[in-house]
Amino acid sequence: MTGPEPRQSIRLDKWLWHARFFKSRSLAAAAVGGPLRMNGQPVSKPSQPVRQGDVLTFVQGERVRVVRVLAPGKRRGPAPEAQALYEDLEPITPAADPGTPEPRKGGRPTGKARRDFDAARHRDDDTAP
């Protein structure tokens, strides 16, 4: 008598690495210690088993990723093979309007930058009619 085939599973950190969300398995394991949820429940162990159909929510860089696991994966292969392991459930955000101003990065100017700015401003004042 043969019963239903058990669902295959793989460690969470290993799956995140196979799916190429993180460059190394240790980075994937560290991400599990952060705000990662599986099927809406917080996960704190990298050894948590992941199965087909599970939904993962985690932070990657500045983005919050929401993905559904389609396959456990056998190896860390090329990008097209890795993309076949999951379905991206993240909503598509519209492109930013080109007329919208963006915040400048860099913070306060350095002393040299400030002196250069002042010197350029004074030169412009001297050349005005």
Return the CATH number at 68. Answer: 3.10.290.10
Is 60 within a domain? yes
How do 63-69 and 55-60 pair as beta strands?
Answer: antiparallel
What domain count does the chain have? 1
Is 115 within a domain? no
Nearest to 22, CA basis, from 52, 54, 67, 70: 67
Residue 57, domain extent: 7-91
Structure token digits, residue 71: 């396959």
Is 67 within a domain? yes
Is 107 within a domain? no
The number of residues in the chain equals: 129
Residuewise pLDDT in 10s, the chain (129 residues) = 454 445 688 999 999 999 999 999 999 999 888 789 999 999 989 999 999 999 999 888 888 889 999 998 889 989 999 999 999 998 777 777 777 777 777 778 889 988 998 998 887 666 655
Cβ-based burial of 25 (10 A; exposed 0-12, middle 13-18, buried ≥19): middle
Q: How far apart are alpha carbons 7 and 91 in whole angstroms? A: 28
Residue 59 phi/psi, 5° resolution? -95, 130
Is 86 within a domain? yes
Instruction: Give the global pTM.
Output: 0.67
